[in-house]
Structure formats: C-alpha cells, structure tokens
C-alpha cells in the first residue's frame, strides 16, 4: 500500500475558508476535529443528558462560527470552543433552575439512588449539583487551575477551591466506601 | 495528604475517564443546516460538503467505521447494485426526496428507485436461496447492513430532520456503542 501524504491544514486556515466563502467542507473538517472532545465535556457538565448536550454543542458551533472572524488565535480553537460550551451549559442550567451561584456557599447533599450501595464514577459525577460538578470536571478532569476556573466562572479562587472540596466529598459519599477504580469507569 | 486531596487511586480513575465521545450523526447535519440557514455556510449544492478541497482532508480524518463502510458500500455497489430503495418505502423519506429532487431531477429519483428495487430483490433472493453457505449469508447480510448505513448517511445529508433516517442511524449508533472492540469490527468489514 502506498503511503498517503498528509497535508496538514491548520484550524486557522479552515476557519478562514469558513469566514471567507462559507466553505462547508472546511466546517465539517473542524467539526470532526473538535466535536468529540467538546461533546464529552458538555455531556459531563450537563449531567449526562445526551439530548441537551447535543443541543449545547450545536449552539456552541453556531455561536463560534458567528464569531470566528473575530477570534484572534491567541488561544487554541478547542479551548475557545470549550469556553463557549461552558457558558452555554451554565445558561441552560441556570434557566432551568439547576445552577446555584457558586458564591452562595450552600452545601447541597445528594444521595445515591435507593437500592444502589455503590455507583460508578461517571454516574457519581453526573449526580453532583451542577456547580460542584462543573468545578470538579474543570479541575480534576480537564486540568484547569483554580485561577483559570475562577476567571471562567466569575468567582473567586477561594470559591473554586471550596466548591471542589465539597464536590470531592460528595463524590466519595456517592461512590461508597470504596475508591473508584478503572473498572468503575464507563 | 488531607481529605481535600485526591488519592492516587482517585486520580487514576478520574484520569482514566474518556475525553472524547462521538455524538449522534444527526448532530453534524443539524448543525450544518442551521449554519446554512444563518448564511454562515454557503447554500447546499448537489454535492454539498464534497467538492471543495478540504473534503480531501476530511477523508483522512475519517473514523475507521466511516472508511470501512465506504469500502463495503463500494463492494456492494459492484456486486449487486447499491441502493437506497429500501429507504424509499418510508413515506416521509419519499416526501423528503420529492422536496429535494424537484422537476429536473425526476430521472435521478427514478434511478434511485430502480437501484433500490434491485437491492431489495437481491435480498429477497438471498432469503429464499437454498443450500447457501452460512458464511456467504453472513457476508451478504454485512454488506446489506453496511449499504443501508451508507444510504442512511446520504439521506441525512438531504433531509437532516427526517425521523425515519434518524431512527435507523440511532440503531446503528447504539450497535456501535455496544461494540467495544472497534478494531475487530473494522476487520470484519474490510476482510471480504
């Protein structure tokens, strides 16, 4: 079999095609590059609701494409998309009454479903209150620092830390006495 | 270490969570359609999304199952006549086609209908064939399903909101989710 020469086309070049001539195939290429990661992130923040997550991902792409001409490429495109997706998640959660402002400091307890003594990690994360869950996802899964989380969510670093600790505590309770293992991971 | 910190076990478990997941196939088409309606993408043409140079790049980034399906669909076309005819049995899909293929494209619609009839006839012949080897039947079923999947993907480009196509693709996606061993499945498709 003959090796296929791969011509790297950067995100920026593809974006310029979209902005310049509305190139659909350039959009599809960007979509395929970045949607799987964006979708997984949004799906977690939305607590595992696939339909809502797909709506958010669609809105993210629409908003991003509208503003693509103004994107200055000082950060990576996927970072920018994640930021847009996060804001849209928060708006949606807030509109439906599922988001409590993080600075309120209210400790909300969640219980494992009746009859389930131990649940898997992904499910436990999905059951956390939206604010805790978001901070935990950003810090412990996506690797953001508290300063970055604070900036993205419009809270203080102290709030980000306290929310993370509460999130971890709740997650441990939901997971029962055992620690999560890779076998718990979906 | 305080209980505020993650244990090594917890860190490993969180680090092992998947970072990517494919959404439903319909989402791409829904998004493209919405962007077209906003004027952010050029209006659709007969070969939307394929003729432009970037389409070649997209080919190289295709997940295995798209490439494998394309190969299998090509074989099916060569062997017996690939078709979307079976899909045309659904009334809403017919409506979608009528919307897309107006007046001047009646011949194209008829061609699709003919190929569809061939596809269905080939499957019917297979089901009554006597003494066929089990492996052959299995292979033909694989080709038939792959052709159906490929056809549904073409239809969804034409009619992103068609509920019949959505159900078919959701069925395929559910099946793909169940199969953890993508490599083995890909091999099955490419082998014959």
Chain A residues in contact with B23 (beta carbon < 8 A): 35-36, 39, 50, 53-54, 57
**Is A186's pLDDT higher than 60?**
no
Chain A's closest residue to B26, CA to CA, is: A54
Pairwise pLDDT comparison (A85 vs B135), residue with the higher score: A85
pLDDT tens-digit profile of B62-106? 454 555 555 555 555 544 444 444 444 444 544 554 555 455 566
Q: Does A58 sit within 8 Å of B31, measured CB to CB? A: yes
Domain ends where: A57, A79, A99?
A99
Chain A residues in contact with B52 (beta carbon < 8 A): 17, 23-26
Q: What is the pLDDT of residue B99?
A: 52
Residue A2 placed within a domain: no
* Burial tier of A103 (Cβ tally within 10 Å: 0-12, 13-18, 19+): middle
**Is B43's pLDDT higher than 50?**
yes
Q: What is the three-state SS of chain A?
A: CCCCCCCCCCHHHHHHHHHHHCCHHHHHHHHHHHHHHHHHHHHHHCCCCHHHHHHHHHHHHHHHHHCHHHCCCCCCHHHHHHHHHHHHHHHHHHHCCCCCCHHHCCCCCCCCCCCCCCCCHHHHHHHCCHHHHHHHHHHHHCCCCHHHHHHHHCCCHHHHHHHHHHHHHHHHHHHCCCCCCHHHCC
**Same-domain status, A84 and A107:** no
Q: What is the pLDDT of residue A100?
A: 73
Region at A4 (left for phi over 0; alpha for psi -120 to 50; beta for the rest): beta
Residue B152 placed within a domain: yes
**Same-domain status, A75 and A139:** no
pLDDT tens-digit profile of A81-119? 999 999 999 999 999 888 876 655 555 556 556 555 556
**Same-domain status, A105 and A82:** no
Q: What is the pLDDT of residue B145?
A: 78
**Same-domain status, A120 and A57:** no
**Same-domain status, A14 and A89:** yes
| Boundaries of domain holding A53 | 7-99
* Burial tier of A168 (Cβ tally within 10 Å: 0-12, 13-18, 19+): buried
What is the CA angle B21-A28-A18, rounded to 5?
135
Chain B residues in contact with A121 (beta carbon < 8 A): 13-14, 17
**Same-domain status, A50 and A69:** yes
In chain A, % of residues over pLDDT 70: 81
| CATH number, domain with residue A59 | 1.10.1740.10
Dig out the tokens for B23 from the structure. Answer: 């959404």
Domain ends where: A39, A64, A99?
A99
**Is B54's pLDDT higher than 80?**
no
Pairwise pLDDT comparison (A98 vs A161), residue with the higher score: A161
* Domains in chain B, number: 1
Q: Does A36 sit within 8 Å of B22, measured CB to CB? A: yes
CA pair distance B119, B84, nearest whole angstrom: 8
**Same-domain status, A84 and A105:** no
Buried b (16+ CB within 10 A) or exposed e, B56-93: ebbeeeeeebbebbbebbebbbeebbbbbbbbbebeeb
**Same-domain status, A107 and A91:** no
Pairwise pLDDT comparison (B177 vs A44), residue with the higher score: A44
Question: Pick from A107, A131, A115: which is nearest to A176 by CA?
Answer: A115
Q: Does B19 sit within 8 Å of A24, measured CB to CB? A: no
Do B169 and B26 touch, CB atoms closer than 8 A? yes
Do A158 and A95 touch, CB atoms closer than 8 A? no
Residue A186 placed within a domain: no
Domain ends where: A78, A99, A120?
A99
**Is A38's pLDDT higher than 70?**
yes
How close B78 gets to chain A, by Cα (Å)? 22
pLDDT tens-digit profile of A110-137? 655 655 555 689 999 999 999 999 999 9
Residue B182 placed within a domain: yes
Q: Does A140 sit within 8 Å of B55, measured CB to CB? A: no
Interface pTM, i.e. ipTM:
0.84
pLDDT tens-digit profile of B172-186? 777 776 665 444 433
Residue B16 placed within a domain: no
**Same-domain status, A51 and A130:** no
**Is B51's pLDDT higher than 50?**
no
Integer angstrom CA distances of residue B178 from A10, A38, A151, B25 = 34, 22, 39, 16
CA pair distance A15, A28, nearest whole angstrom: 11
pLDDT interval class at B4 (50, 70, 90): confident
Residue A185 placed within a domain: no
Pairwise pLDDT comparison (A167 vs B54), residue with the higher score: A167
* Domains in chain A, number: 2
How close B3 gets to chain A, by Cα (Å)? 8
pTM: 0.61
Q: Which of A9-13, A106-110, A118-122, B57-61 has the lowest mean pLDDT?
A: B57-61
**Could you tell me the maximum CA-CA distance found in chain A, to the nearest angstrom?**
62
Integer angstrom CA distances of residue A150 from A90, A110, A145, A171 = 14, 24, 9, 21
Pairwise pLDDT comparison (B48 vs A109), residue with the higher score: A109
pLDDT interval class at A153 (50, 70, 90): very high
| Boundaries of domain holding B184 | 62-191
Q: What is the pLDDT of residue A134?
A: 96
Q: What is the pLDDT of residue A79?
A: 95
**Same-domain status, A28 and A92:** yes
């Amino acid at each position: 079999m003959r090796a296929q020469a791969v011509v790297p086309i950067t995100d920026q070049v593809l974006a310029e095609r979209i902005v310049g001539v509305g190139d659909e195939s350039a959009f599809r290429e960007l979509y395929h590059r970045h949607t799987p990661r964006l979708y997984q992130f949004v799906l977690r923040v939305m607590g595992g609701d696939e339909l809502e997550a797909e709506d958010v991902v669609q809105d993210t792409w629409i908003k991003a494409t509208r503003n693509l001409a103004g994107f200055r490429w000082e950060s990576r495109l996927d970072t920018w998309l994640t930021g847009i997706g996060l804001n849209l998640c928060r708006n949606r959660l807030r509109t439906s009454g599922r988001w409590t402002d993080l600075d309120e400091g209210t400790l909300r307890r969640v219980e494992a479903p009746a009859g389930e003594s131990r649940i898997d990690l992904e499910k436990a994360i999905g059951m956390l209150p939206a604010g805790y869950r978001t901070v935990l996802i950003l810090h412990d899964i996506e690797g953001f620092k508290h300063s970055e989380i604070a900036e993205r969510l419009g809270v203080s670093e102290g709030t980000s830390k306290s929310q993370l600790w509460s999130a971890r505590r709740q997650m441990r309770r939901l997971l029962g006495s055992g620690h999560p293992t890779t076998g718990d991971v979906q | 270490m305080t209980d505020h910190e993650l244990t090594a076990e917890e860190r490993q478990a969180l680090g092992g969570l998947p970072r990517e997941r494919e959404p439903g196939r319909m989402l791409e088409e829904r998004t493209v359609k919405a962007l077209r309606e906003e004027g952010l993408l050029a209006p659709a043409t007969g070969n939307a999304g394929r003729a432009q140079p970037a389409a070649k790049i997209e080919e190289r980034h295709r997940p295995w199952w798209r490439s494998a399906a394309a190969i299998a669909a090509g074989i099916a076309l060569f062997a017996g006549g690939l078709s979307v005819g079976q899909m045309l049995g659904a009334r809403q899909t017919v409506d979608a086609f009528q919307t897309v293929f107006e007046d001047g494209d009646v011949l194209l619609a008829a061609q699709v209908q003919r190929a569809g009839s061939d596809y269905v006839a080939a499957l019917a012949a297979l089901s009554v064939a006597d003494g066929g080897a089990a492996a052959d039947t299995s292979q033909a079923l694989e080709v038939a399903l792959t052709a159906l999947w490929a056809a549904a993907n073409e239809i969804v480009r034409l009619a992103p909101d068609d509920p019949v196509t959505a159900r078919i693709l959701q069925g395929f996606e559910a099946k793909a989710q169940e199969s953890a061993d993508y490599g083995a499945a890909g091999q099955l498709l490419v082998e014959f």
